[in-house]
């Protein structure tokens, strides 16, 4: 099939850009570890309150300047609803839900996870700046969806 | 070729019936959209305890599913009847069965949404559980659309048999590709509704596998947007060149781009699930790569469109690099509305690249940026093209003509749409980058300073939404006029001819076994291993919740 010369140039340029772009995404994901959250850990959604670490939700120190923040989502709240994180801490957030699907978005950051019944989702982030961050549910979960919120305060050590 | 110039009267009735329902859906769904933007401005409360989420579900179902599916099927019936001849009586009878199934299904679904038994939004994610009637209604809509698809297949096969060795007319070929795409992808949503959601909502089973249900939904949900887009491409490739008085750049490349859409629009649903816990990131990336392959036919389409415009302008004696732009019929709404739709597809497509990117999606996922995105793709590019098509299609089918006054109103309508959408979608994109979530009623999130920053953008959305609603009223005035009140007469159904220098179209594009076979292989590659993984490592299932 004949393709016009200009169209060939256009397509080669376009497809070339496309592959450069996909390579950037791939290198970022596989070589630099910037993968979207995929924890692949399962949990019984009926027994969240009895399953560690979600039996004791909150911030737990796991190493020198390293923390785990274990949170539970349910209609229409997060537990805990207030968290204080020392500045510079590297925090792995683990979250699961006791009922329907929720979202977990920390406004102004790249922390953005789907929280689905039966699964734990997880993302690690270093909090370098002091200040207050809003956590909110960004997946529709029912009548009180827009009231579902929590706060993270990053404070000086 | 037995070129029929008019759509058969009886086929016209069938096509018009679909188009009427589409515009009724536009009126009701548009009103719901206006109310949503007003609520989100924070200055307005819905009366009588109506829930924001009931209105939101109504808006999504009516505009995302009903307006699109009905208009597309009506348009395709007309296009196929025009290019491959009138339907047989038996075929047309089945077309009406499909129409009534879809209409009854829509009514049943709408009923359960409006009585508040199905505020689950149009994506109906389990374990939120709607009334079984909601799922049943949606099933009827899908089954009705399948019947209409088979009517097209049988009709097209009959034409091929009567014209051995000939390439099928382009518009009919494109309609068949779109219905094949629709059939393959809607099997996914049918599977989750019939095997999972219906038995579970009826209480026959207690638990549902949430991830499997979501995955089947998104196996359907992304090709759905191409099912909306391809009819707009049909108008651009095969009709607009005739509207402006020019020729089509290439028939073969048009077919090639449709085949590429068929192949690459299905095995890509994971890019809607990038933030999910239960899918391995490797498989997410595989589907991200496949997603980006649709850039290729989109680039081809952009080239073909502008090549057509430039060829036409130069044939009229245009000089200079961009002189041909001045020769285009800017005062003709049949051209102007779809052309504006094409222009909006440039930012819309760029936004889509962001959404489908492995990492960039983390910034925008489930923020109102995404809503802004598909109000550019669907609610501007596709919808303005459909409006532009309605301006000749409806009078052609109703035996009337569009007056100069109506044409002028249609130009104004397009401009109103551009202004309203720039406000609304623009503000949605910016607010989304600041973190404002989609699908949420007005909230300051316990007076969060971050959430207070979004309010000016939300007011801009309400301004845009109000302007767009004026646009909807205008298009409804035009459509009502064209269907019932415009002067009687003959309106042309424009079908473009191919430019002289273009080559003969090879028959390979109609090797359905080959293309459907490759499509299935790509689907199997993209989905088999992660899907088995989901089932083998499934957590305990979920019971149903009604949290509204």
**What are B229's two structure tokens?**
């887009």
Output DSSP code: residue B358.
T
Residue B379's pLDDT is what?
97
Q: Map out the domains of chain A as residue ranges.
A: 1-35, 41-155
3-state secondary structure at position B104: helix
Q: Which residues of B376-404 are buried (b: 16+ CB within 10 A; e: fewer)?
A: bbbbbbbbbbbbbbbbbbbbbbbebbbbe
| Mean pLDDT within B514-529 | 95
CA distances from B180 to B106, B217, B403, B510, B512 (A): 22, 18, 37, 12, 10
Pick from B278, B366, B538: which is nearest to A138 by CB? Answer: B366
**For the purposes of burial, counting CB atoms within 10 Å of the CB of B165, is it exposed (0-12), middle (13-18) or buried (19 or more)?**
exposed
Residue B377 predicted with pLDDT over 60: yes
**What are B47's two structure tokens?**
């009366």
**What are B521's two structure tokens?**
């292989």
Rg value, chain B, Cα: 23
CA atoms of A45 and B434, how far apart (whole Å)? 32
For residue B542, list its beta bridge partners: B208
Selection from B9, B25, B89, B36 nearest residue B61 by Cα: B25
Whether the link from the prior residue into A80 is cis, omega within 30° of 0, is yes
**For the purposes of burial, counting CB atoms within 10 Å of the CB of A30, is it exposed (0-12), middle (13-18) or buried (19 or more)?**
middle
Helix B333-355 and helix B295-315, axial crossing angle in degrees, nearest 10: 150
CA atoms of B466 and B343, how far apart (whole Å)? 23
CA atoms of B157 and B160, how far apart (whole Å)? 5
Name chain A contacts of B211, Cβ cutoff 8 Å: 116, 118-119
- What are the tens digits of pLDDT across the range B430-461? 999 999 999 999 999 999 999 999 999 999 99
Region A41-155: CATH code: 2.60.40.420
- What are the tens digits of pLDDT across the range B163-205? 998 899 999 999 999 999 999 999 999 999 999 999 999 999 9
**DSSP codes, B505-523:** PPGGGG-HHHHHHHHHHHH
CB contact under 8 A, B303 and A147: no
For residue A97, list its beta bridge partners: A73
- Residue identified by tokens 């598909």 is B374
CB contact under 8 A, B450 and A108: yes
Number of H helices, E strands in chain B: 20, 0
> CB contact, 8 Å: B449 with chain A?
yes
Residues 33-72 of A with CB under 8 A from B: 34-46
CA atoms of A57 and A82, how far apart (whole Å)? 11
Residues 116-135 of A with CB under 8 A from B: 116-122, 132-134
3-state secondary structure at position A57: coil
Answer yes or no: B271 catalytic: no
Answer yes or no: B135 catalytic: no
Pick from B119, B275, B277: which is nearest to A112 by CB? Answer: B275
Residue B2 predicted with pLDDT over 70: no
CA atoms of A125 and A62, how far apart (whole Å)? 14
Q: Please identify which of the residues B23, B217, B438, B457 carries the catalytic annotation.
A: B438
Pick from A36, A99, A137: which is nearest to B359 by CB? Answer: A36
CB contact under 8 A, B437 and A142: no
Q: pLDDT band for A33, please (50, 70, 90 cuts).
A: confident
> CB contact, 8 Å: B439 with chain A?
yes
In total, chain B counts a number of residues equal to 548
Q: Measured in whole angstroms, how far is the alpha carbon of residue B176 from the centre of its chain?
A: 16
Average pLDDT over chain B reads: 94
**How open is the CA angle B413-B76-B348, to the nearest 5 degrees?**
50
Q: Cα-flanking dihedrals φ and ψ of residue B340, to 5°?
A: -60, -40
Q: pLDDT band for B1, please (50, 70, 90 cuts).
A: very low
Residue B200's pLDDT is what?
97
Pick from B210, B362, B448: which is nearest to A117 by CB? Answer: B210
User: Which secondary-structure segment (H or E) carries A59?
Assistant: strand A58-63
Q: pLDDT band for B491, please (50, 70, 90 cuts).
A: very high
Please, are residues A133 and A151 in contact by the beta-carbon 8 Å criterion? yes
| Mean pLDDT within B63-67 | 95
Residues 178-237 of B with CB under 8 A from A: 210-211, 214
Q: Map out the domains of chain B as residue ranges.
A: 9-536
State how far residue A88 is from chain B, nearest Cα, in angstroms.
21
3-state secondary structure at position B42: coil
Residue B320's pLDDT is what?
86
Residue B533 predicted with pLDDT over 80: yes
CB contact under 8 A, B366 and A99: no
State how far residue B26 is from chain A, nearest Cα, in angstroms.
24
How many CB atoms are located within 10 Å of the residue B452 CB? 11
CA distances from B4 to B45, B80, B83, B85 (A): 54, 10, 6, 6
3-state secondary structure at position B427: helix
Q: Please identify which of the residues B131, B214, B373, B396 carries the catalytic annotation.
A: B373
Give the least confident one: A2-6, A150-154, B371-375. Answer: A2-6
Residue A40's pLDDT is what?
84
Answer yes or no: B358 catalytic: no
Q: Please identify which of the residues B99, B156, B226, B386 carries the catalytic annotation.
A: B226
Percent of the residues in chain B that have a pLDDT greater than 90, as a whole number = 91
3-state secondary structure at position B528: helix
CA atoms of B341 and B378, how far apart (whole Å)? 10
CA atoms of B30 and B32, how far apart (whole Å)? 5
Q: Which value, to the nearest 10 degrees, does the dihedral of the CA atoms of residues B196, B197, B200, B206 take?
A: 60
CATH architecture entry for B9-536:
Up-down Bundle (1.20)
CB contact under 8 A, B303 and A113: no
CB contact under 8 A, B303 and A139: no
Output DSSP code: residue B437.
B
> Can you tell me the ipTM of this complex?
0.94
Q: Which residue of B has its CA nearest to A140?
A: B439
CB contact under 8 A, B448 and A105: no
**What are B412's two structure tokens?**
């104004």
Please, are residues B269 and B219 in contact by the beta-carbon 8 Å criterion? yes
Q: Please identify which of the residues B222, B255, B334, B400 carries the catalytic annotation.
A: B222
Q: Cα-flanking dihedrals φ and ψ of residue B88, to 5°?
A: -70, 160
State how far residue A148 is from chain B, nearest Cα, in angstroms.
8
Name chain A contacts of B122, Cβ cutoff 8 Å: none
Q: Which residue of B has its CA nearest to A134?
A: B448
Please, are residues A51 and A84 in contact by the beta-carbon 8 Å criterion? no
State how far residue A28 is from chain B, nearest Cα, in angstroms.
8
Name chain A contacts of B125, Cβ cutoff 8 Å: 100-101, 139-140
Q: Mutate which of A100, A131, A135 to test chain B, going by most B C-beta atoms within 10 A?
A: A100
Please, are residues B151 and B91 in contact by the beta-carbon 8 Å criterion? yes
Residue A1's pLDDT is what?
66
Q: In B444-530, which ranges are E strands?
A: none
For residue A149, list its beta bridge partners: A136
Percent of the residues in chain B that have a pLDDT greater than 70, as a whole number = 99
Average pLDDT over chain A reads: 93
Q: Measured in whole angstroms, how far is the alpha carbon of residue B114 from the centre of its chain?
A: 24
Answer yes or no: B227 catalytic: no
């Amino acid at each position: 099939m004949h393709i016009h010369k200009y169209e060939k140039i256009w397509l080669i340029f376009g497809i070339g850009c496309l592959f450069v772009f996909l390579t950037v995404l791939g290198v970022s994901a596989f070589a630099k570890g910037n993968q979207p959250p995929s924890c692949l850990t399962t949990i019984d959604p009926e027994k969240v309150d009895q399953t560690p670490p979600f039996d004791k939700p909150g911030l737990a120190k796991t190493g020198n300047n390293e923390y785990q923040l274990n949170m539970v989502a349910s209609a229409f709240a997060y537990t805990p609803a207030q968290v204080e994180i020392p500045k510079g801490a590297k925090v792995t957030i683990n979250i699961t839900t006791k009922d329907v699907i929720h979202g977990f978005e920390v406004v102004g950051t790249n922390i953005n996870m789907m929280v689905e019944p039966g699964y734990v989702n997880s993302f690690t982030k270093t909090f370098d700046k002091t200040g207050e961050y809003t956590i909110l549910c960004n997946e529709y979960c029912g009548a009180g969806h827009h009231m579902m919120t929590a706060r993270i305060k990053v404070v000086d050590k | 070729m037995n070129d029929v110039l008019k759509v058969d009267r009886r086929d016209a009735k069938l096509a018009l019936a679909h188009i009427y329902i589409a515009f009724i859906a536009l009126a009701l769904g548009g009103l719901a959209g206006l109310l949503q933007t007003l609520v989100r401005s924070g200055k307005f409360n819905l009366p009588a305890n109506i829930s924001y989420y009931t209105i939101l579900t109504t808006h999504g179902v009516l505009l995302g599913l009903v307006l699109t599916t009905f208009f597309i099927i009506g348009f395709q019936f007309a296009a196929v009847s025009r290019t491959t001849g009138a339907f047989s009586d038996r075929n047309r009878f089945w077309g009406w069965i499909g129409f009534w199934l879809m209409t009854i299904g829509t009514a049943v679904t709408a009923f359960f949404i409006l009585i508040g038994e199905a505020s689950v939004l149009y994506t109906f994610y389990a374990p939120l559980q709607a009334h079984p009637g909601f799922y049943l209604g949606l099933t009827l809509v899908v089954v009705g659309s399948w019947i209409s698809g088979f009517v097209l297949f049988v009709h097209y096969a009959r034409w091929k048999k009567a014209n051995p060795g000939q390439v099928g007319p382009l518009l009919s070929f494109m309609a068949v590709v779109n219905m094949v795409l629709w059939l393959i992808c809607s099997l996914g949503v049918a599977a989750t509704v019939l095997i999972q959601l219906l038995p579970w909502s009826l209480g026959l089973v207690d638990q549902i596998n949430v991830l499997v249900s979501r995955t089947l939904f998104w196996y359907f949900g992304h090709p759905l947007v191409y099912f909306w887009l391809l009819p707009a491409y049909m108008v651009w490739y095969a009709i607009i060149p005739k509207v402006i008085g020019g020729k089509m750049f290439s028939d073969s490349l048009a077919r090639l781009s449709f085949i590429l859409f068929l192949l690459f629009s299905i095995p890509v649903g994971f890019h809607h699930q990038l933030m999910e816990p239960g899918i391995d990131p490797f498989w997410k990336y595989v589907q991200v790569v496949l997603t980006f392959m649709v850039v290729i036919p989109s680039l081809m389409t952009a080239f073909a469109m502008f090549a057509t415009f430039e060829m036409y302008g130069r044939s009229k004696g245009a000089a200079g690099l961009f002189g041909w732009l001045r020769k285009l019929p800017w005062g003709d709404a049949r051209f102007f509305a779809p052309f504006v739709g094409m222009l909006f597809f440039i930012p819309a497509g760029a936004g889509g690249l962001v959404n489908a990117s492995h990492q960039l999606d983390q910034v925008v996922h489930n923020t109102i940026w995404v809503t802004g995105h598909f109000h550019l793709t669907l609610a501007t590019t596709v919808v303005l093209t459909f409006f532009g098509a309605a301006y000749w299609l409806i009078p052609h089918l109703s035996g009337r003509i569009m007056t100069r006054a109506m044409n002028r109103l249609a130009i104004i309508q397009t401009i109103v749409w551009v202004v309203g959408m720039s406000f609304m979608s623009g503000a949605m994109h910016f607010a989304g980058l600041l973190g404002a979530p989609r699908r949420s009623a007005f909230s300051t999130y316990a007076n969060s300073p971050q959430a207070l920053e979004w309010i000016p953008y939300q007011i801009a959305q309400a301004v845009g939404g109000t302007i767009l609603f004026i646009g909807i009223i205008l298009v409804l005035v035009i459509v009502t006029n064209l269907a019932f009140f415009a002067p009687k007469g003959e309106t042309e159904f424009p079908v473009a001819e191919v430019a002289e220098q273009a080559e003969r179209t090879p028959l390979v594009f109609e090797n359905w076994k080959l293309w459907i076979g490759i499509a299935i292989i790509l689907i199997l590659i993209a989905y088999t291993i992660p899907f088995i993984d989901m089932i083998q490592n499934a957590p305990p299932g979920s019971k149903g919740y009604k949290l509204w």
